[in-house]
Amino acid sequence: MSLKPLALATLFTLILSSMVTGLPKGIDAIAQNQMSLQRSSISLDATELNQPLLLRIQGLNQTNIQGQIIVNGQVIKTLEGSNNQVNLSNYLSRGNYEITVKGNYYPSQGSVVIDLQGNQTQVRQQTSGNGLLNQQLNMEVR
């Protein structure tokens, strides 16, 4: 029997364990892999915040999500299940923002869609196939 498969499995386990850091209570695993980061950037007028600016995170085909929505380093929502939504208008004003959706989804072969929808704004990101959720939206509100 070859030791190569065992060595590879051990290496992958070590890599995956090194990606997980101290987590808030109730979150079993949050993806920390910067290699799987998807990034988008948008600008919008502050008047758009007078209407709901909805960030929706949806697991497709019974994909469950566990993670967090983070705005400029502050967790604003914990994600659980297959459908999550937050109105970002409540957290934004004029300025620059880094909005991150970070976590895991299962089954890892599943797919997750992240939509940002406002009166004049539509941004969509999708990830699938590895169980890691690490999406970032850089936003300027002017």
Query: Which helix (H) or strand (E) is 141 found in, with range?
Result: strand 132-141
Mean pLDDT of 66-91: 97
Domain ranges of the chain: 27-141
Look at residue 63 in the predicted model and tell me its pLDDT: 96
pLDDT grade for 32, boundaries at 50, 70 and 90: very low
The alpha carbon of residue 140 and the mean position of all alpha carbons in its chain are separated, in whole angstroms, by 19
Instruction: Yes or no: say if 104 and 63 are a contact pair by the CB < 8 Å rule.
Output: no
Residue 104 predicted with pLDDT over 50: yes
Place of tokens 């988008």: 40
Count of residues for the chain?
142
What predicted TM-score, i.e. pTM, was given to this entire model?
A: 0.73
